Amino acid sequence: MTTRPALRIASLVLALPTAGALLFAQQSPDQPSDARSGIDLIIGDRIGAQPRLAVPDCLALTGDPETLDAAATIAQVLFDDLDFEREFRMVARDTYRTIRRARSLTDLPLDAWQELGADGVVSCSVERQPDGQLLVRARLFNVRSLDSTLGVEYTGSYRDVRLYAHELSNEIHRQQRGLEGVARSHLAFVSDRDSESVLGLVPNRQTKEIYVSDYDGANVRRVTVTRSLNVTPAWTPDARAVAYTSYRSGQQDIVISHIYEGRLETPASGNEREHNWLPAFSPDGRQIAFNSNRDGNPELYVMNVDGTNLRRLTNHPAIDTSPTWSPLGHQIAFTSDRTGSPQIYVVGVDGAGLRRITFESYCDRPTWSPSPYNEVAYSSRTGPGHDIKVVDLATNEVRQLTFGQGTNESPSYSANGRHLVFSSTRGSGSKQIFVIGRDGRGLRQITYIGNNEMPSWSR
């Protein structure tokens, strides 16, 4: 049996300072032998067709209410995770009532699932262990060959049932499609949902605090509790800390919240005269690009994460703002109004090679895609509001992802580059967080409470 590295839940939750339980993941003893052909493990035999997957409810081997809830939650979250990446055609769950329920992990009526059109079925069981932990077993079956192509076990706390589904989704995408999924990634965003008065600023003005959630908007947790303005969050590359712009001291400065260690840092050392805002981490996590007025005009600067080795990147009487790093860390894209209206520019980290990449009426908040894509998404004024657009840096081709429904701003890419998260006033008129595929498909709303904006997707 091959053992996979243990996964520590403490690295995923924000309930500090408690560390959380351990989640162990390993291959099931009946996992297919490594000697089998990799082709035999891939579900689907129609060239160019997406495999059709079914995810019936997990089998609860212990009948207590908590285990029954865990069984239903894992199956639904797994279905949603698999559906999100659009690598599989999911067999609708409301058709499953025609199929006999499994009596054990391996007792599946695969012929009936094949008649329903499924190429693969995820079989899952959950049970309470004597120590109170939850044991989750899952296998992926090829309904045509009747083989199990994947088998895993997870052991951990009941409070982390969604995590088991997220990890299983990533395992399936990795094995079946060669894709690193985003199910275990997180969002950081700004919200006024807790509605408190801002201290020391405009009377009766609402606070804005930083929150984080799972990629799908679940498990929302509050990061800041300052009763002040906290905006423009940005994840560190290891997703263990969030930097943001805070007015907690009366003026804007950059704060780094190490959310799993319970400590804060202010590396830019702002004061009443020198203000710092809009942090962006380099891909290796060693540097921060940011805005500052320390030399009298809003310019871009780069410093080490501890505040050392500060250097000025831009030098122009116009306003330069909103930095974002290229995937290799050699260039930075940013917004500048040096030609009269805000446009997106690219410059080397040494300040050389400046070039303009947008030529529209008004462009702002660029975000550079991860590899293998080479594009920059941004917010563009297209009328009374803004829309999300993407420019391919190799061809200069621009494509539009949103089309005039409300105003759409602050895009941020997922780690695999296949999705963007952004804020929009579509629908109710309040600001909410949405995700969309880089092809403009798969639009989903993520937040619903209060006003939510300026999202950042963890890498």
SS (H, E, C) the chain: CCCCCCEEHHHCCCCCCCCCCEEEEEECCCCCCCCCCHHHHCCCCCCCCCCEEECCCCEECCCCHHHHHHHHHHHHHHHHHHHHHCCCEECCHHHHHHCCCCCCCCCCCHHHHHHCCCCEEEEEEEEECCCCCEEEEEEEEECCCCEEEEEEEEEECHHHHHHHHHHHHHHHHHHHHCCCCCCCCEEEEEECCCCCECCCCCCCCECEEEEEEECCCCCCEECCCCCCEEEEEEECCCCCCEEEEECCCCCCEEEEEECCCCEEECCCCCCCCCCEEEEEECCCCCEEEEEECCCCCCEEEEEECCCCCCEECCCCCCCEEEEEECCCCCEEEEEECCCCCCEEEEEECCCCCCEECCCCCCEEEEEECCCCCCEEEEEEECCCCEEEEEEECCCCCEEECCCCCCCEEEEEECCCCCEEEEEECCCCCCCEEEEEECCCCCCEECCCCCCEEEEEECC
Domain with CATH 3.40.50.10070 in the chain: 7-177
Task: Please tell me the predicted confidence (pLDDT) of residue 49.
Answer: 81
Provide the greatest CA pair distance for the chain.
Answer: 73
Domain with CATH 2.120.10.30 in the chain: 186-457
For residue 117, which phi and psi values (nearest 5 degrees)? Answer: 100, 5
pLDDT band at residue 216 using 50, 70 and 90 as cut-offs: very high
Report pLDDT digits (tens) over 199-210: 544 455 568 999
Do the Cβ atoms of 295 and 316 come closer than 8 Å?
Answer: no
Domain 7-177 has CATH 3.40.50.1110: no
The answer to whether residue 267 scores a pLDDT higher than 90 is yes
In angstroms, rounded to a whole number, what is the distance separating the alpha carbons of residues 180 and 413?
14
Closest C-alpha to 224, from 210, 213, 245: 210
Q: CA–CA distance from 213 to each of 183, 254, 339, 431, 447 (Å)?
A: 12, 21, 38, 17, 10
Do the Cβ atoms of 451 and 430 come closer than 8 Å?
Answer: yes
Report pLDDT digits (tens) over 356-414: 999 999 999 999 999 999 999 999 999 999 999 999 999 999 999 999 999 999 999 99
372: cis peptide before it, omega within 30°? yes
Task: Please tell me the predicted confidence (pLDDT) of residue 146.
Answer: 87
Q: Per DSSP, what are the bridge partners of residue 389?
A: 378, 400
Q: How far apart are the first and last CA of the chain?
A: 31
Task: Please tell me the predicted confidence (pLDDT) of residue 8.
Answer: 30
The answer to whether residue 297 scores a pLDDT higher than 80 is yes
pLDDT band at residue 22 using 50, 70 and 90 as cut-offs: very low
Q: Which CATH number among 3.40.1280.10, 1.10.3720.10, 2.120.10.30, 3.30.470.10 corresponds to the domain 186-457?
A: 2.120.10.30
pLDDT band at residue 34 using 50, 70 and 90 as cut-offs: very low
Choice among 41-55, 153-167, 308-322 with the minimum mean pLDDT: 41-55
